[in-house]
A and B are shown apart, each in its own frame.
Chain A
Amino acid sequence: MATDILMPALSPTMEEGKLSKWLKKAGDPVKSGDLLAEIETDKATMEVEAIDEGVLAKILVEEGTEGVKVNTPIAIIAAEGEDVSAASAGGGAPKPEASAQPAPAPDMQAEGQADTPAPSAKTGDDAPKAPAAPATITNKAPAPVMAEFPEGTEMVSTTVREALRDAMAEEMRKDDAVFVMGEEVAEYQGAYKITQGLLQEFGARRVVDTPITEHGFAGIGVGAAFTGLRPIVEFMTFNFAMQAIDHIINSAAKTLYMSGGQLGCPIVFRGPNGAAARVGAQHSHDYSAWYSNVPGLKVIAPYTASDAKGLLKAAIRDPNPIIFLENEILYGQTFPVPKLDDFVLPIGKARIHRPGTDVTIVSFSIGMTYALKAAQALAEEGIEAEVIDLRTLRPMDTDTVVESVKKTGRCVTVEEGFPQSGIGAEISARLMVDAFDYLDAPVLRVTGKDVPMPYAANLEKLALPNVAEVIEAVKAVCYR
C-alpha cells in the first residue's frame, strides 16, 4: 500500500518550511533511514529520513517550493512491486513519526499581513470552551492610535526575527562599543536565527560565541558594561538566565545605586521568554513579573515586529540594564515595519493597539494574540474592546491604562505568566488606586494557570490562557 510522506515538523514551533532539495528521485528504491530531502525551516536546514521501505513513487512538492505547511503530503512511497502509477496522494496514509507533533491545521493559516498575525497552534481557537474558530473573520487592522512614524512611510513586511536582527545590526554599525555575546550567536547564526548574518558582517570580535556558561558570561557582560561597552547578552531562553539572575539583579541593576551614581551598566539581556510549544516546565517559564519587580532594570516585552525593532534599538542605546523579553512563537510572525533609516521607539510607552469603548484589555507580548482575537470575536457580538499593548513592563505606562479605563470602566488583563504577583495583579492594584471611582466592575485577570507547564498537548493548552477565557472575562466585567 502506498504511503504519503508528509512535510514534517522539525521543531516545536515550526508551521511551514521550504523543501529545498530532493535527495532521491522518482523511481528510486528507498529503505528506512535513507535521506529523502532537505527541508529549510526558520531555524535551520535539516534532512528528512525515510521511515518506510519501498520505491519513491511520486514527488508531490517540487524542490525549491517555499512555505510548505507542516503535514502537507510531499511524496508517495509505494510498496515493492506496487503499481507506481496507481499511487495517489492522500490515501489515509499513516503520518510519519516526525510530523506527529504540533502540526496546526493548515487551513487555519490566515495570510498574515496586517497588524494581526496568523493564528498559531498554541494560540489556536480549539481550546476548551472556545467559540467557533474566528479564522474566517476578516483582519481589520485598525490604524495605530499614536503616530510613531511619519504618515505615508513605506511599510515593509518583516518577521519579528528579522526586525530584531536589523535592530542589532543597525546599532552595531553606528557604535563600535556594541557587541553581542551568547551561546550559538556567531557560527551557528543564532539558536533561533536572531543573530543571522551578524558574524559575517561584524566578525568574531563583536559577535562572540560563549561556552554554555550563563552565570559566567552574564557576569562578563556586566563587567564589560561597567567600562562603557554596550553588550547585548543573548540567552538562548530566559529559562537559562536563572543561572545568571544574580548578575542581572545584584550586579547590573543595583550597582548604579550602590555606587552613588558613578557606575552605570549599559547592557541588554535578550532572548525568548515564556512558553514555546511542548517544551515542558523548565523551558516555558514567563519571567515578565520577576524582572518587572526590580528597581534598576527596564523591562521590555514587545508584540509586533516594529515594536521589536524600535524598542530594541532604544534598549541598546539606553544607559541602563534592559531586560528584553522576546517570544519564540512570535519570531516567525510577520508585521509591517516602517522603512526608516533610524526607527527608534520610546521605552515606557504603551500603545492602544485597537481602540474601543466598552472594555479595556491590557496585555503584552504573545498575550496580545489572545487579546486581539477575543476583541475581534467580541466585536461581532457588539462589545468594542480597547486593546492596550503595554510593550514596556518597567517603567509601566499606567497613564495610558488609566485613561482607557476612565473611558470604558472595565478592565481585563491577559498574560501567559502565573497569576500570583503577576503583571495583571500589578495593573489591578494600580487601577484600584488611580481609577477606583471609574471602575464599574472588578478587574479580572486572564493568566497562565498556577501550575508548572505540562508537556502533554492537551494539558499544555489548558495551562495557557486562551481566547475563550478572555471573552468570558470580558463578558463577566461587562455583566453580559
Chain B
Amino acid sequence: MDAAKDAGQAASDTSRAEAQRSGGAMPTGAAATHAPAPNAPQFTREEDLHAYHEMLLIRRFEEKAGQLYGMGLIGGFCHLYIGQEAVVIGMQMASVDGDQVITGYRDHGHMLACGMDPKGVMAELTGRRGGYSRGKGGSMHMFSREKQFFGGHGIVGAQVSLGTGLAFADAYKKNGNVSLTYMGDGAANQGQVYESFNMAQLWKLPVVYVIENNRYAMGTSVARASAQTDFSKRGISFGIPGEQVDGMDVRTVREAATRAIEHARSGEGPYILEMQTYRYRGHSMSDPAKYRTKDEVSKMREEHDPIEMVRKRLIEMHGVPEAELKATDAKVRETVNESAEFATHDPEPDPAELWTDILLEARA
C-alpha cells in the first residue's frame, strides 16, 4: 500500500490546471453522464493493480455483508458502500501514514481502505467478540487508533465537527498530519458542518472535507434537499476552495486528493472535494428504492463502474493477462470468505462485557 502511494505521488505530475479541468468536468444531477474524462491523469500499472485490488476487496466484502444480513447474521443497520469504492481508495492513495480518517455511518469501505483487518470488521458486523469494538459498536461504530481511523459515527454530520477536532489536534501538536473528514450529500446540509467550516478556515486547520455526493440522502435526491447542489461551493462564504471531482474514476480522485491534502498540509487551511459518485444499493438493507428507477442504477453500473473501468485499463492499456486478474479476484474472495467464516464462528461477547468500557480508570 505504501509503495503504491509513493509511486502514485511520484507519477502524478499532471498540471494543476489540467487536473481541475478533468476533475470538474462531470455534470451534476440525475442526467450526469459520468463519461470518463479524456485527459484523466494516468496511473501506472502498479497503481491500477493496487486500486483494483483495494476496490474489489470493498466490493466483495460489502456483497458478503449483504448476504450475511439477509441470513440474519448481521442485525440492525447496515449501509453498504458498493459503487463508491473509488472515492475512499483514491483518497487513501494520496494520503500518508498518520493522516486521520473519519466518516459517517457508511463506513466499512473506509475501514478496509485504512488497512483494518476484514475479519475484525466483519466480526463487528455480526456482533462478535473478535470485532473491532468487541461486538459493542456494530456497523456504524468501529475505530482503530492504530490505523488512525476515528469512526464510524451514526449521527449525520457529527463526524464533521469531530474531524475538524482531529485537525485542531494536528495543528496544536504541529505533527504535519491531515484529517480526512468524509460526509455525504445529506450531512452537508447539517448546521454543524458550517460551524466547522468557519472554524477550520479561521484557524487554518489541516482538514480535507470529502463530500461523497451519491445523489441521495437516504431516499431524498440532492435536488429535493439542497438549494445549492454544487457542493464544491459550500465553502465559498468562508473562503474555502472546493472542486467537483469524478468520484467514479479513482485516478481523478487521487489527483484531486493530492492537491487538497497538499493544500491542507502546507498550512493553507481546509479544502472541499465534492466526490460525484453513486450508491448501487439502497440507503440501508431495508431500503425499498422507490425513489429512483432500476434503469438509472443499471446504467451507472454498466457504464461507470469504478472497478470495471480499472479492470478494462489493466487489460487494454497495461496488458495485464486476464488470468492474473482472476487470481486477484480469487484472492479477494478468499479473504472475504475467511472474514465471513471468522465472523460467523467467533463467539458472542462475554456477558461481562456489558459492564466494561463505560469509563476508564483514572491515573493513580
Contacts and interface: CB of A to CB of B under 8 A. Distances in A.
Nearest to A315: B362
Contact of A258 (B136, B195, B196): B136
Given A218-B161, A250-B155, A261 B202 contact: no
Nearest to B163: A223
Given A250-B155, A263-B150, A220 B196 contact: yes
A293 B162 CA distance: 24
A260 B358 contact: no
A110 interface: no
Nearest to A218: B161
A398 to B, nearest CB: 17
A255 B164 contact: no
B360 A256 contact: yes
Nearest to B145: A262
Given A224-B172, A250-B155, A257 B357 contact: yes
A258 B145 CA distance: 13
Nearest to A210: B199
Number of chain A interface residues as a range: 35 or more
A295 interface: yes
B158 A213 contact: no
Contacts, number: 151
Contacts of A215: 161, 191-192, 195
Contact of B359 (A210, A229, A320): A320
B133 interface: yes
A251 interface: yes
A216 B161 CA distance: 6
Interface in B156-179: 158, 160-170, 172-173
A228 B170 CA distance: 11
A351 interface: no
A447 to B, nearest CB: 28
A258 B170 CA distance: 24
A219 interface: yes
Contacts of A21: none
A220 B357 contact: no
B357 to A, nearest CB: 4
Nearest to A267: B165
A211 B202 CA distance: 10
Contacts of B136: 257-258, 260
B162 A256 contact: no
B132 interface: yes
A298 interface: yes
Contact of B199 (A211, A259, A314, A319): A211
13 contacts: A213-B198, A217-B161, A217-B199, A222-B161, A223-B165, A224-B172, A225-B165, A250-B155, A251-B155, A251-B158, A256-B357, A260-B132, A347-B362
Interface of A: 179, 205, 210-211, 213, 215-229, 246-247, 250-251, 255-264, 295-296, 298, 314, 317-320, 347
Interface of B: 100, 102, 131-137, 141-145, 150-155, 158, 160-170, 172-173, 191-192, 195-196, 198-199, 202, 356-363
